[in-house]
Amino acid sequence: MASFYDDVWNRWDDAMLDAIVAEDFAFRGSLGDETSGREGFRGYRDRLRVAAPDFRNQVIDLIAGPDRAAVRLRCTGHHRGELLGMPPTGRAFDFSSAGFLTAADGRLTSAWVVADLDDLRRQLRSR
């Protein structure tokens, strides 16, 4: 499960995405978007990459069982493209999120992620 954040998100590794994410992956992202399928998730991830090319997830806590996991994350980056309907500001951001993931047959089947979007909005608007 940690590879989902280390490789698929932080390294933007498409080969690893294909290896560990199920074809029918159901994803609800912290920005409120819902996608289905591997390609739908890839599109969401890549839109976030345009908004913050240096976006990183730091795993703070991970509790995992054989087919499910809960993770607490620290998300950081710089606002370089449209994000939450806001034009790029160049500002750094640092917010918390949490994810709940399921797996079957060695692949992730779903992820539901929530984030402190009020904190993120404040950071992008401040200064």
The residue extents of the domains of the chain are 2-125
- Tell me what percent of the residues of the chain surpass a pLDDT of 70: 98
Whether the CB-CB separation of 52 and 76 falls below 8 Å is answered with no
Question: What local confidence, expressed as pLDDT, does residue 70 receive?
Answer: 97
pTM of the model: 0.91
pLDDT in tens, 56-70: 999 999 999 999 999
Task: List CB contacts of 96: < 8 A, sequence separation 6 or more.
Answer: 72, 73, 74, 75, 115, 116, 119
Q: Return the DSSP state at 83.
A: B
Say yes or no to pLDDT of 81 above 90: yes
pLDDT in tens, 28-44: 998 888 999 999 999 99
Handedness of CA 48, 42, 3, 96 (dihedral sign): positive
Q: Given 1.10.3720.10, 3.40.50.150, 3.10.50.40, 3.10.450.50, which CATH number is that of 2-125?
A: 3.10.450.50
